[in-house]
Amino acid sequence: MAEDASGAAPKSGNRGAGPLGRWPIGRRLAAGFVVLMLLMAGLGIVAQIQMARLADQTVNLYRHPFAVSNAVLQVRADILAIHRTMKDLAVSNDLVRLEAAAGIVAGYEQAIFNHFEIINDRFLGDRAMVQAAEQAIADWRPIRDQVITLTTEGAHQEAAAITRGIGAEQVARIDDAVGALHAFARGKAAEFMGTSEAIRTRAVTTMWGWLAGSIALGFVVAIVISRSITVPMAGMTGAVSRLAQGDDRATVPGTARSDEIGRMARALAILRDRLLARDEPTTTPADAEPVPTTGAAGGSPETRDRLTGAPH
């Protein structure tokens, strides 16, 4: 029953090992470590993807609705400043102050056009809404020019009447058009916030799900690798204990394995077979019983006397 010179394993205790049984223990441990690293890397990739989506949504929220809302608020503030300046200008008798006020109005108007460049670039709604607001502001300019002309000519009452009348009505139309832009931007911001919240919730759910799956899979991998080592080692320990108790015919499990445990099992099986061979009894010539001799020269004295006829 000993292992032959070709290295073939004895058949006693041969049980087919699973796929892990054909791997060395070091490779199994390395494979388990690689699986854990892949799970961690997967978790990191999922987290990165979710964070990137949330960051993109935040950038869109800032770049479009917030930027448009801020620009619209600036436009409203500049329109209010122009309207207030025009009221003061209509009752002014000082030509120097009149020219200065006209310059202030022109500066506010240029700032409004600059804000509309941002609105045109980042507004996500119907472009006709932006064009309507710009047209309302453009229609206000001839009214202001008429007020300035009347004020310069000294017709303060007519200038003030235009400012309080068609001028105020045009300002109201501008405010309505600009207000529609602001309302749309606020609605879009709320929509983006809802989307961001949904992405955040989905990201948290995905992260927890991936984490739970990773823990469960890691636990399974650890159990499988651990049992692939501890179970055959327990069998080996039992075989060694039986041999130590004098059971020379104890079955050694795991001799068919190709890993370190299999090599230990085959070495233990060889040791068992040598112990068994040493304890078997052997027959030698010295232990054989004597056989009676039937020849003429042999036999007992009485037999010889009968054969020869000699007297006793």
pLDDT in tens, 156-197: 888 889 888 998 999 999 999 999 999 999 998 888 888 888
Domains belonging to the chain, first-starting first, are 28-217 (1.20.1420)
Report d(CA 222, CA 230) in Å as an integer.
Answer: 12
Report d(CA 41, CA 211) in Å as an integer.
Answer: 11
Note the pTM of the prediction, 2 decimals.
0.59
Q: Could you tell me where the DSSP H helices lie in the chain?
A: 25-61, 67-90, 95-122, 127-152, 156-162, 168-244, 260-279, 301-308
Q: Would you state the pLDDT for residue 118?
A: 93
Looking at this protein, which amino acid is placed at residue 103?
G
Nearest to 179 by CA among 271, 80, 69, 272: 69
pLDDT bin (cut points 50, 70, 90) of residue 121 is very high
Q: Give me Rg for the CA atoms of the chain.
A: 53
Q: Would you state the pLDDT for residue 14?
A: 44
Looking at this protein, which amino acid is placed at residue 202?
R
pLDDT bin (cut points 50, 70, 90) of residue 31 is confident
Q: How big is the CA angle at 251 (ends 246 and 252), to the nearest 5 degrees?
A: 105
Residue 7 scores a pLDDT above 50: no
- Region 26-34 average pLDDT: 85
Q: How big is the CA angle at 73 (ends 72 and 76), to the nearest 5 degrees?
A: 85
